Amino acid sequence: MSDKKEINIVIAMKREAISLINYWNLKENKKNIFSNKENKINLIISGIGKKKAEKATFYIAENTNKENFFLNIGIAGHKNFKLGDIILISKVTDNKKKISWYPSLLWKTKIKKSSLTTVNFPKIRYNTNDLYDMEASGFFKAARSFVGPEKVQCLKIISDNKDSSILNISSKKIEDWVLSKTVIINKLVNEFLKI
Amino acid sequence: MIETIYIEKQIKDHQRTKEILSKFKKKLDIIYCDHYGEIFNIKSQNFRIQKKKPALILAKKIGKKLHKIPSSFSIGGKENYYFSHMLNCIYDCEYCFLQGKHMSAHYLLFVNYEDFFLEIKKKILENSTKKYYFFSGYDCDSLAFDGVTGFIKYFLPIFKQNKNAILELRTKSNQINKLLKHEPIDNCIVAFSFTPENISKLIEHKVPSVKNRIKAMKQLANIGWKIGLRFDPIIPACNFAKIYDKLFQNIASNIPEESIHSISFGMMRFPKKMFKKMTKENSNKRLFSQPFENRNGIFSYNKKLENKVENIILKKLKKYMKKAPIYNCQV
């Protein structure tokens, strides 16, 4: 990979991003993009929902390098996975449009992998064995218009399951879950940057 | 090593899918898809990056399964067809046209072998007095992945029963265990592809050594299998006459000439689109610094170089293998 290539990270909420912003010492520029050029990381907070994720992904691509690596990080629900578990996504399906994206799984990692479905509204019942989120399909739609499946990835942290519904999620818990996974995320980001 | 397998939902309960999955001891990531094209055919994939860790895709082949081969690529037959139960190869040869042909480096395996057989059967029933040649190693190596695919186990008995169908298994592997356990059949040619050892080491990544392949070939010849020798592509490297002479001599001293069904050779050649993609992704490779020219949409060496190389190769082949028929696969 050329030295100029960076990673563009799209995260829905500030409370999901704050631990990573601090860990990587990212500074916000005039364009609302948090960056650390030394670490080759750009991060944008998109807001909740796939439309906003799509728009933010286009925005960060236009304002950085369209050939960059793209990563979506956020929380998601799953029937059985433990709260705070980190998952590398192997398939993203848009629940409404029934379109799927398959990120290439090239990384040597012990992180669990799973499929994910993006829904328009928070999910209370987990009908399948997929994770459920509200942003990934919008992010993939936009990012994959710039680069191929090797360079668009998605990491989710489990925030709710059949024993602990979305009603139990708090800002503090989200920050703690992400904080506890920053080292793992950082390691994977460095792997991503090697391609 | 395969760590990810994509499976089309329509064949998830197919017996062959289950057999293939049972061959993997390690935990796999299994991902279901509606159609293999969602993974294999999408644009903007980077073949070179994917080749570092390809996934396996199990799918059902729909539509035409047999494709006609131009008579200039024949090994003596008039009716020549290829069929591809698998797309892509576990080896990584720098000249291989597969890297320019497909969007993806993943291994795509069609598990509905029975449907391939039906089409082969239909073809050979058209005229039972004719000989039909079927080539299985066009889009993949016929033997290299057999431990997973079970291709030999299914197809050999079928050809054994249909004598006017001739099967060519083309390979760079030494995976011959299944063949050694099988009684040789007259209408099957096990064709080994070679470049000289020092070239192979440089540009045929992950391919068994020439020595090991000759050893495998010798074992098969000794128990009665018909052997094909394929020198396609010929690589005109430094001292090429000398190193090809050494290769031919080595083969001739190990394989009895009566075991050799046919010899074929050919120059590197690519359709324009494929050539452009390959040269773009391999711009630093010396292989593509040869004087290529566009001849009616096919990129190959210029005619002068080609004639020179062909004459030398023919002369050297005839020096060591006088009786075996030699075919020049020309553009």
ipTM score of the complex?
0.92
Q: Is residue A1 part of a domain?
A: no
Q: Is residue B24 part of a domain?
A: no
Mean confidence (pLDDT) of chain B: 93
Looking at residue A127, what is its pLDDT?
86
Cα–chain-centroid distance for residue B151? Answer: 14
* Separation of alpha carbons B247 and A18, rounded Å: 64
Q: Which residue carries 């691509």 as its tokens? A: A61
Bond before B271 cis per omega within 30 degrees: no
Indicate whether A2 pLDDT > 70: no
Q: Which residues contact A3 (CB under 8 A, 6 or more apart)?
A: none
CA torsion A39→A42→A45→A46, rounded to 10°? -150
Task: Give tens-digit pLDDT for B124-160.
Answer: 999 989 999 999 989 999 999 999 999 999 999 999 9
pTM: 0.93
Task: Give tens-digit pLDDT for B38-49.
Answer: 999 998 898 889
Range of the domain at A70: 7-192
Is the dihedral angle over the CA atoms B288, B251, B328, B152 positive or is it negative? negative
Least CB–CB distance from A195: residue in B42, B44, B49: B49
Q: Which of A45-54, A79-88, A156-165, B68-77 has the lowest mean pLDDT?
A: B68-77
Set of chain A residues whose Cβ sits within 8 Å of the Cβ of B33: 91, 100, 102
Q: Is residue A2 part of a domain?
A: no
Looking at residue B6, what is its pLDDT?
98
CA distance B200 to chain A (A): 27
* Separation of alpha carbons A145 and B79, rounded Å: 44
Indicate whether B244 pLDDT > 50: yes
Structurally, how many domains does chain A consist of?
1
Indicate whether B61 pLDDT > 80: yes
Query: Of A106, A111, A117, A140, which to mutate for an interface test with B (greatest number of B Cβ within 10 Å)?
Result: A106
Set of chain A residues whose Cβ sits within 8 Å of the Cβ of B6: 102
Least CB–CB distance from B38: residue in A102, A106, A115: A102
Query: Of B6, B31, B51, which to mutate for an interface test with A (greatest number of A Cβ within 10 Å)?
Result: B31
Q: Is residue B54 part of a domain?
A: no
Contact B136, B143 (CB under 8 A): no
Length of chain A: 195
Task: Give tens-digit pLDDT for B18-57.
Answer: 999 999 988 899 999 999 999 999 988 988 899 999 999 9
Pairing of strands B204-205, B188-193: unpaired
Strand partners, B168: B135, B189
Q: Compute the average pLDDT of residues A156-177.
A: 96
Q: Residue B28: closest CA among chain A residues belongs to which residue?
A: A113
Q: Is residue B132 part of a domain?
A: yes
Looking at residue A1, what is its pLDDT?
39
Set of chain B residues whose Cβ sits within 8 Å of the Cβ of A102: 6, 31, 33, 38-39
Least CB–CB distance from A106: residue in B6, B43, B53: B53
Residue B192's closest CA among B127, B124, B262?
Answer: B262
Task: Give tens-digit pLDDT for B203-242.
Answer: 999 999 999 999 999 999 999 999 999 999 999 888 999 9
Over pLDDT 70: what percentage of chain B? 99
Q: Is residue B52 part of a domain?
A: no
The backbone region for B144, taken as left when phi is positive above 0, alpha when psi lies in -120 to 50, beta otherwise, is: alpha
* Separation of alpha carbons B148 and B170, rounded Å: 17
Indicate whether B296 pLDDT > 90: no
CATH of the domain at B171: 3.80.30.30
Degrees, nearest 5: CA angle B102-B105-B107: 100
- Residue type present at position A10: V
* Separation of alpha carbons A134 and A68, rounded Å: 23
CA distance B7 to chain A (A): 12
Query: Of A87, A104, A117, which to mutate for an interface test with B (greatest number of B Cβ within 10 Å)?
Result: A104
Q: Compute the average pLDDT of residues B297-310.
A: 89
Range of the domain at B251: 61-85+112-329
CA distance B39 to chain A (A): 7
CATH of the domain at A112: 3.40.50.1580
Least CB–CB distance from A105: residue in B4, B34, B42: B4
Looking at residue A3, what is its pLDDT?
57
Structurally, how many domains does chain B consist of?
1
Indicate whether A108 pLDDT > 90: no
Task: Give tens-digit pLDDT for A114-136.
Answer: 999 999 998 778 889 999 999 99
* Separation of alpha carbons B39 and B160, rounded Å: 36
CA distance B281 to chain A (A): 13
Q: Residue A106: closest CA among chain B residues belongs to which residue?
A: B53
β strands within chain A, DSSP E: 7-11, 27-28, 34-36, 41-45, 69-77, 86-94, 100-101, 112-118, 131-133, 152-160
Which H or E run includes A192? helix A171-192
Q: Is residue B255 part of a domain?
A: yes
Are the beta carbons of A105 and B55 separated by less than 8 Å? yes
Residue A71's closest CA among A160, A15, A6?
Answer: A6
Are the beta carbons of A102 and B44 separated by less than 8 Å? no
Q: Compute the average pLDDT of residues B258-274.
A: 91
Set of chain A residues whose Cβ sits within 8 Å of the Cβ of B27: none
Strand partners, A36: A41
Q: Which residue has the higher pLDDT, B95 or B12?
A: B12
Task: Give tens-digit pLDDT for A139-152.
Answer: 999 999 999 999 99
Are the beta carbons of A106 and B33 separated by less than 8 Å? no
Contact A118, A92 (CB under 8 A): yes
Q: Is residue B45 part of a domain?
A: no
Are the beta carbons of B31 and A106 separated by less than 8 Å? no
Looking at residue B284, what is its pLDDT?
66
Degrees, nearest 5: CA angle A10-A14-A16: 70
Q: Which residues on chain A place their C-beta less than 8 Å from a C-beta of chain B?
A: 90-91, 100, 102, 104-106, 113, 115, 144, 147-150, 195
Set of chain B residues whose Cβ sits within 8 Å of the Cβ of A100: 33-34, 38
Q: Compute the average pLDDT of residues B181-185.
A: 94
Strand partners, B292: B301
Mean confidence (pLDDT) of chain A: 95
Query: Of A102, A110, A154, which to mutate for an interface test with B (greatest number of B Cβ within 10 Å)?
Result: A102
* Separation of alpha carbons A112 and A114, rounded Å: 7
Length of chain B: 331
Least CB–CB distance from B46: residue in A91, A100, A150: A150
**Helix ranges (DSSP H) in chain B:** 15-22, 37-40, 47-51, 98-101, 113-124, 146-149, 151-161, 177-181, 197-203, 210-222, 240-254, 272-281, 303-320
